[in-house]
Amino acid sequence: MEKSENRKKNLHKNQRNDENPRSGIQEDTTIRIEDAYKIYKRGKIEVVALRGMNCEFKRGELTVIMGPSGCGKTTLLNMIGGLDRLSSGTIYVNQKDITELSDNALEEYRRDNIGFVFQFSSLIPELSAEENVLLPIKLASKLNEKKRNFVNTLFKLVGLQERKTHRPDELSGGERQRVGVAAALSNNPEIILCDEPTGELDSTTKVKIMDLLHKIVEMYPNKTLVVVTHDPELKKIADKLYYIRDGQISHQMSDKELYDEMAKVETGEHDYQKSFRRRGKKQALLELKEIEHYIKDKIDKLENSQ
């Protein structure tokens, strides 16, 4: 991954401030979330998953969202993807408030604008890899020769040209996940939402998926990628990083801050004492807690598998 060099180029891009005077939303902002609340009711108990959340996601960027289990990461992804509705607040996608859409319009929004990549394979076992990737196009009644050629391009992108006719049970976990990425891209959606895309993969396969997600942003700069994860390794491919705690953005790291941190890692000069001075003790402690949670989660999985 040549992320460091690309990050330098993106710094200049992200410093632009071309705003639409009518909406106050930057022209390169695909998604803007304002004062978002989501409350789940379980009998007489109310669980607040999102607490007045405010954040935005831009075209040509890969944003990583981290935080402990139950903090609201997946809830946020579901709201952006139109799988659920906010209790209050607004979600602007291309300056249109999707919270005002009818159920039918929200279904069309999901079909035409969103690609989902999940932690566990969502492929249909009876279909081949190619048939799984073609399925979203068929459901949208858009299948034609141009789309078939695009699907061939996607299989080249994910490196599985020779595995198109294989069914999911004939593929490895990493191959199934790459087919899932191709299926998410098949309708050419503007927004790709990934929920723990490397959660069940070994370290070698994880790197392949990370490379693939990074490559998508490089090849399709009009797309917006949002990745929810516990894995701190995914910071390496992020253009922006949000940490969520208790349904709110606890802190974030910009493209420049991520680049500075990566540069220190690459030169061997990075340590958390410098991190304390540069970003403050509280923020560095939050990062350490996220890493601690990730390690504990991995240990629990290993113990439960024995």
Q: What is the domain range of residue 7?
A: 3-270
194-205 pLDDT, tens per residue?
Answer: 999 888 788 888
What is the three-state SS of 162-228? HHCCCCHHHCCHHHHHHHHHHHHHCCCCCEEEEECCCCCCCHHHHHHHHHHHHHHHHHCCCCEEEEE
| Whole-structure pTM value | 0.77
Angle between helices 145-157 and 129-139 (to 10 degrees): 140
Specify if 281 maps to a domain: no
pLDDT(223) > 90? yes
233-278 pLDDT, tens per residue?
Answer: 888 889 999 999 889 998 888 766 776 666 665 555 444 345 444 5
118-141 pLDDT, tens per residue?
Answer: 887 789 999 999 999 999 898 888
pLDDT(25) > 60? no
3-state secondary structure of 16: coil
Tell me which amino acid residue 200 is.
E
Specify if 31 maps to a domain: yes
Specify if 65 maps to a domain: yes
Specify if 277 maps to a domain: no
Among residues 192, 176, 178, the alpha carbon closest in space to that of 225 is found at 192
pLDDT at 55: 95
How many other CB atoms sit within 10 Å of the CB of residue 130? 20
Specify if 261 maps to a domain: yes
Structural domain total, the chain: 1
Can you list the positions of beta strands (E) in the chain? 29-42, 45-58, 62-66, 88-93, 96-97, 114-117, 191-195, 224-228, 240-245, 248-253
- Give the Cα separation of 147 and 134 in Å (integer): 9
pLDDT at 294: 59
CATH code of 248's domain: 3.40.50.300
pLDDT(66) > 60? yes
* CB-based burial, 178-202: b 16+ in 10 Å, e otherwise: bbbbbbbbbbbbbbbbbbbbbbbbe
Tokens, residue 209: 């998926």
Specify if 306 maps to a domain: no
Specify if 291 maps to a domain: no
Which residue reads 């979600």 in tokens?
91
Specify if 300 maps to a domain: no
